[in-house]
């Protein structure tokens, strides 16, 4: 709330520099933390939640977004980008928070790591579909 209330107030240059350095370190630390937990072999019983989660994130979400754009007659570049973004793999930061919270760390790491690899197949297909509209 404090950040929203002080959006129009200029921050001191020292504070901006410190915050930028902290923000720059986030991605490498999270990638290492997740990378250390990725295993190609999921625990027993995890394949179904893994498959359903990736199917929802990489297939169902862009289909729903595309359907909404179609129903609302939205064919602009912004609409296409929104549909494409809906098909992006699971977020690293969200996965890191889930791992920290203890929400199935191995499954979460697999969703991020393997989801990224699967998206190398699904995103070009989604891009080609969007080009036809």
Rounded Cα gap, residues 114 and 42, in angstroms? 11
Its pTM stands at 0.70
pLDDT (0 to 100) of residue 18: 92
Instruction: For the chain, state the CA radius of gyration.
Output: 19
Token pair for 104: 């199935």
DSSP at 10: P
pLDDT tens-digit readout, 52-82: 999 999 999 999 999 999 999 999 999 999 9
- Location of structure tokens 């394949």: 47
**Looking at the predicted structure, is the pLDDT value of residue 39 above 70?**
no
**Where do the structural domains in the chain lie, given as residue ranges?**
49-133
């Amino acid at each position: 709330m404090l950040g929203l209330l002080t959006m129009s107030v200029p921050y001191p240059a020292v504070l901006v520099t410190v915050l930028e350095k902290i923000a720059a370190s986030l991605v490498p630390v999270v990638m290492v933390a997740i990378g250390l937990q990725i295993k190609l072999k999921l625990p027993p019983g995890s394949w179904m939640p893994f498959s359903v989660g990736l199917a929802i994130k990489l297939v169902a979400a862009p289909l729903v977004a595309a359907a909404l754009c179609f129903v609302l007659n939205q064919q602009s570049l912004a609409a296409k980008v929104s549909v494409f973004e809906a098909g992006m793999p699971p977020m690293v930061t969200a996965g890191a928070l889930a791992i920290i919270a203890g929400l199935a760390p191995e499954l979460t790491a697999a969703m991020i790591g393997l989801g990224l690899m699967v998206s190398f197949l699904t995103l070009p297909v989604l891009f080609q579909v969007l080009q036809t509209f």
